[in-house]
């Protein structure tokens, strides 16, 4: 294997399982010529039963930090040859989880390049959406309360449009977590209820002057957004993560990055 040409991407999936597979599919869409050999080298570890729910931990209803399981899976991916690591979960990037992951990897003398999805999303918007000044955020409750996207975007000079807690609970978080009709409960199809909640959310962001909406939950990436984004652009953080992985796979190995300031 020529690692100078093609580094191996490792993906920590299972959060939820369908989202990790969707990230793999994004990588497979990378232009690769007309042969198998042109595609990227990547591994997916999807061990959902190993990883406690991220939002439950951040909200205090689960005492076990999922960071330890995620760090363990990253170690397994590194032992198997991965040099670039992506975590297919936005909520895992909340500092209460992500910083512990970094600490655990440092203790294990890890040398992987860990890609930070929210930070890469900010960089992508700056480079490709110069007209955008007000950004709407659609996330889980865990990401919402952690403020990871809000703080990054505000530090980057953007206005952030957040739903009130009532709409966040009854519409956006519910799209993901509703036990009967939410995306986690129905990974193989998007229910009519989820589509109705998405329309309600889009109306809110448009009415509140957002120039674009960031999908800050990998489950939301499973929704076919073409029918919702006619009037306001939608920026998919997981798709941006895939573009970053494609770019990084062509670079020389780099040591693990430090924690984000703020």
pLDDT tens figures, 22-37: 999 999 987 666 788 8
- Return the percentage of the chain with pLDDT > 70, whole number: 92
Mean of the pLDDT values across residues 33-57?
91
- Return the percentage of the chain with pLDDT > 90, whole number: 82
Task: Specify the CATH number for 8-116+240-248; select among 1.20.120.450, 3.40.50.1860, 3.40.50.300, 3.10.450.50.
Answer: 3.40.50.1860
Mean of the pLDDT values across residues 178-198?
94
CA distances from 74 to 93, 97, 188, 213 (A): 14, 14, 27, 30
Q: What is the CATH code of the structural domain delimited by 118-237?
A: 3.40.50.1860
Would you say residue 229 has pLDDT above 80?
no
User: In angstroms, how far apart are the furthest CA atoms of the chain?
Assistant: 52
Q: Please give the mean pLDDT across all residues of the chain.
A: 92
- At residue 31, the pLDDT reads 66
Would you say residue 145 has pLDDT above 50?
yes
Instruction: Summarize pLDDT for 147-170 with one digit per residue, the tens.
Output: 999 999 999 999 999 999 999 999
- At residue 249, the pLDDT reads 86
Residue 235 to residue 232: CA distance in whole angstroms: 10
Residue range(s) occupied by CATH 3.40.50.1860 in the chain: 8-116+240-248, 118-237
Which distant-in-sequence residues (6+ apart) come within 8 Å of 49 by Cβ? Answer: none
Mean of the pLDDT values across residues 36-48?
91
- At residue 34, the pLDDT reads 73
DSSP code string of the chain: --TTT-PEEEEE--SSHHHHHHHHHHHHTS--TTSGGGSPEEEEE--GGGS--HHHHHTTS--S-THHHHHHHHHHHHHTT--EEEES-SGGGSHHHHHHHHHHHHHTT---EEE-HHHHHHHHHHHH-TT--EEEEE--HHHHHHTHHHHHHHHTT-EEE---HHHIIIIIHHHHH-TTTSTTT-TTS--HHHHHHHHHHHHHHHHTT-SEEEE-STTGGGS-GGGT-SSS-EEEHHHHHHHHHHHHTTSPP-PPP-PPP-
- At residue 1, the pLDDT reads 43
Would you say residue 257 has pLDDT above 70?
no
- Order of strands across the sheet that contains 8-12: 41-45, 8-12, 84-87, 113-115
Query: For residue 43, what are its two tokens?
Result: 């591994």
Question: Among 252, 218, 227, which Cα is nearest to 24's?
Answer: 218
Mean of the pLDDT values across residues 225-242?
89
Residue with tokens 């931990």: 57
Instruction: Summarize pLDDT for 61-117 with one digit per residue, the tens.
Output: 999 999 999 999 999 999 999 999 999 999 999 999 999 999 999 999 999 999 999
- At residue 97, the pLDDT reads 98
Mean of the pLDDT values across residues 32-57?
90
């Amino acid at each position: 294997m020529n690692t100078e040409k093609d580094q191996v991407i490792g993906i920590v999936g299972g959060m939820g399982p369908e989202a990790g597979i969707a990230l793999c599919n994004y990588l497979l869409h990378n232009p690769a010529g007309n042969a198998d050999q042109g595609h990227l080298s990547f591994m997916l570890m999807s061990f959902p039963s190993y990883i406690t729910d991220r939002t439950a931990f951040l909200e205090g209803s689960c005492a076990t930090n999922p960071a330890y399981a995620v760090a363990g899976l990253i170690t397994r991916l590194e032992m198997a040859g991965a040099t670039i690591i992506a975590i297919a979960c936005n909520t895992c990037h909340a500092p209460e989880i992500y910083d512990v992951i970094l600490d655990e990897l440092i203790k294990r003398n890890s040398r992987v390049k860990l890609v930070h999805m929210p930070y890469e999303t900010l960089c992508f918007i700056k480079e490709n959406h110069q007209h955008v000044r007000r950004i709407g955020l659609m996330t889980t409750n865990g990401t919402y309360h952690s403020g990871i996207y809000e703080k990054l975007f505000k530090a980057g000079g953007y206005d952030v449009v957040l739903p009130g807690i009532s709409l966040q609970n009854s519409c956006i978080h519910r799209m993901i977590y509703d036990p009967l009709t939410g995306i986690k409960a129905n990974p193989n199809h998007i229910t009519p209820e989820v589509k109705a909640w998405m329309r309600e959310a889009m109306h809110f962001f448009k009415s509140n002057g957002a120039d674009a909406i960031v999908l800050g939950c990998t489950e939301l990436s499973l929704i076919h957004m073409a029918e919702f984004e006619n009037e306001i652009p939608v920026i998919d953080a997981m798709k941006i993560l895939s573009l970053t992985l494609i770019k990084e796979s062509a670079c020389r190995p780099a040591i693990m990055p430090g924690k984000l300031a703020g």
